Structure 1
Amino acid sequence: MESTMIEALWGWPPPVFDPAGPYAESVTTLAWVLLGMGVAVTAIVVAALWVALRGPDALKRKLGGERTVWIGGVAFPGVVLTALLVWGLALTASLTADITGDEMRVRVTGEMWWFRVEYLDDDGNVLVADANELHLPVGEPVVLELQSADVIHSFWVPHLSGKKDMIPGRTTLLRVQADRPGRFGGVCAEYCGGPHALMGFVAIAHGQDDFRQWLAGKARRQAASAPGGGAGRRQFMDSGCAACHRVAGTPANGLAGPDLTHVGSRQTLGAGILPNNRGTLIGWIGDSQSIKPGNRMPSYDMLSAEELEDIAIWLEQQK
């Protein structure tokens, strides 16, 4: 696949150089310093190479002397790299330092090959279950509880924060904050096998009032009956979709795949690789393996075009 929805959201300049919040600014500063150091080291190496090839003999002998080798080849890199490591760790410490229970929390779990997202209340109970999207209030820090259900993944939305590994059996914490409304692309930044390169994510930053309304509406939907019905709902249940997916207000309670309670309002499908519309829904259900080879959803090519459309129409109504 030549491009994905996530790549379209990254745009220009590259997101690591376009911070949209305070926790990304420290990463941007670090990136510029490392880039500058890389340019400086490259210039020094090129200059030394020129001296070795074209320079005067006296300068060549000096450059190849034992003292120069010890200073330039051992002492200088050791001091510079150690200083950069210490400074970089101090600079990015704010991403996890002083996390309190007062901040909004969202649990994000890496799965093969998508992200489970759960918005938590003050007691750690799940208010809203979602997938492959993170909704944030502008101007407020949000703590992400990062977990993995299988192998090591890594969560990274470059506009909003640094990256953090998701390790089986552990919970790691990461702060994110958006200081402007918008949509920001994210990825799994640790190779996790199979279609790792097609494991994306979208973060959407809302004004604070809009976010509160969004969260309250989704929480109400969790306890309500699923909208729509008819042929689409019946086909969804009869085809075995309910064994892997959950839709609140229906008998579908599967946990192996993404929660589809709000799938109709999501920005993307397939973990950030397709825009969400009826056509892409039909294509994903009918033959997901040709779109994202190796993902854990089987292709339902045994269903007719009419049956696929019925399911897609019903899923569109799940908002």
Structure 2
Amino acid sequence: MRLSPALAPALALPVALTLAACAGRQSPLAPAGEQASSIASLFWLMMAVCGFMYLLVLMFLAAGLWRSWRRREAQGDDRPEIDPADRALTRTLVIWGGLVVAGLTLLITGSFLADRSIAQARSRQALEVRVTGHQWWWRIQYRDEATGGWIETANELHLPAGRTTRVTLGSADVVHSFWVPNIAQKLDVVPGLQNVVDLSPTRTGWFRGQCAEFCGAQHAHMAFDVKVDTPAEFDRWLAGQARPAPVPADAVTARGMRIVTTGTCAMCHAVRGTRAVGKPGPDLTHIGSRRSIAAGTLPMSRGGLQGWIVQPQAVKPGTMMPAMPLSPADADAASRYLASLR
């Protein structure tokens, strides 16, 4: 089958560009949320206490070796290397034991304070979000506070800065793990069980989230973008996501709409405001506004969309997305339509 020229770059992407769409700095040591700050503080406390203890061990080891060498030099090898009656050794053991107890007490206190800080967010009024893990993508739903309904998107999580978002986690298939290192702790996503994690971002910007539990062949390609907006920007974004898909502006995108919303695509995907109401796959209503395709596997582009539609197994082997038997003209029209859904 002859492919559109726009498709070639998408299928020729080097491995170096994998997850390029999720290029935000991913580090728990660069916290951008209250929960991540508590965890980072605990980490540095553990590093300080354990590093100090490690240095003491090395110091005592060096002192013991030096003392043993001096004793052998002075008295020969007839006496035992350690004298049970040595009062200096007894004092050393007492001091060492006290330091160990003090270090453990400090770590326990730090862990308690970090846990309490993370749990405090549970008492706040929070934005409700549902995140469901699939092989290998993320379904994301926001509670519309005005109507009480749910607004669905996929693979891109938007959060308001300075406000707590309560994320209810569930899995549609196997065990996954939800992790945004810069913002909060890691939490497993287990079939048949709902876990809850609070996200309280303090800094705006783009960050990277990922599945942190091996969940199958494409586990490495199960990432998601996280955008922390100002409250006003978030409200505008959510209002835009609540609207139905825009009407095609020309004949080519209108043709693409017919292909996407009345053909095989509509069996798995929904486009609000059209006849496409499929549920197994991601909601495509505003797919053109997202930064990535296929859970961070490709950057968003018309060529990437066309490549994903026509040959998804070449982009993400093992994905549940089947190849669409479209002519080059139909594939181009479908990709133009999807790219216009902003």
2:304 corresponds to which residue?
280
Distance of aligned partners of 1:41 and 1:115 in 2 relative to their CA distance in 1, 3 Å threshold: farther
1:9 corresponds to which residue?
24
Distance of aligned partners of 1:275 and 1:230 in 2 relative to their CA distance in 1, 3 Å threshold: same
Contact in 2 for aligned 1:268/1:276 (Cα 8 Å): yes
Q: Map residues 26-65 of structure 1 onto 2, 5 A cutoff.
A: 26-37=38-49, 39-40=51-52, 43=55, 56-57=68-69, 61=81
Deviation at 1:146, TM superposition (A): 1.4
The one of 117, 136, 140 aligned to 1:117: 140
Deviation at 1:210, TM superposition (A): 1.8
Contact in 1 for aligned 2:268/2:281 (Cα 8 Å): yes
Q: Highest Rg: 1 or 2?
A: 2
- TM-score norm. by structure 1 comes to 0.82
Deviation at 1:89, TM superposition (A): 4.7
The CA distance in 2 between the partners of 1:277 and 1:55, in whole Å, is 70
The one of 134, 156, 173 aligned to 2:157: 134
The one of 179, 183, 204 aligned to 2:227: 204
Partner amino acid, structure 1, of 2:203:
R
RMSD: 3.6
Distance of aligned partners of 1:261 and 1:45 in 2 relative to their CA distance in 1, 3 Å threshold: farther
Deviation at 1:17, TM superposition (A): 1.1
Contact in 1 for aligned 2:205/2:228 (Cα 8 Å): yes
The CA distance in 1 between the partners of 2:295 and 2:120, in whole Å, is 30
Partner amino acid, structure 2, of 1:285:
I
1:20 paired with 2:20, answer no
2:193 corresponds to which residue?
170
The one of 310, 334, 340 aligned to 1:311: 334
1:108 corresponds to which residue?
131
The one of 311, 314, 335 aligned to 1:290: 314
In the alignment, structure 1 segments of 5+ residues that lack a partner are: none
Query: How many corresponding residue pairs?
Result: 312
2:280 corresponds to which residue?
256
Moved more, 171-180 or 249-258: 171-180
Moved more, 100-109 or 117-126: 117-126
2:268 corresponds to which residue?
244
Partner amino acid, structure 1, of 2:292:
T
Moved more, 103-112 or 115-124: 115-124
Moved more, 86-95 or 141-150: 86-95
2:12 corresponds to which residue?
none
- TM-score norm. by structure 2 comes to 0.77
SS at match of 2:163: coil
Deviation at 1:121, TM superposition (A): 3.3
SS at match of 1:143: strand
Contact in 2 for aligned 1:135/1:206 (Cα 8 Å): yes
In the alignment, structure 2 segments of 5+ residues that lack a partner are: 1-14, 73-79, 83-89
Contact in 2 for aligned 1:96/1:174 (Cα 8 Å): no
The CA distance in 1 between the partners of 2:241 and 2:210, in whole Å, is 24
Partner amino acid, structure 2, of 1:32:
W
2:171 corresponds to which residue?
148
Deviation at 1:195, TM superposition (A): 0.9
SS at match of 2:133: strand
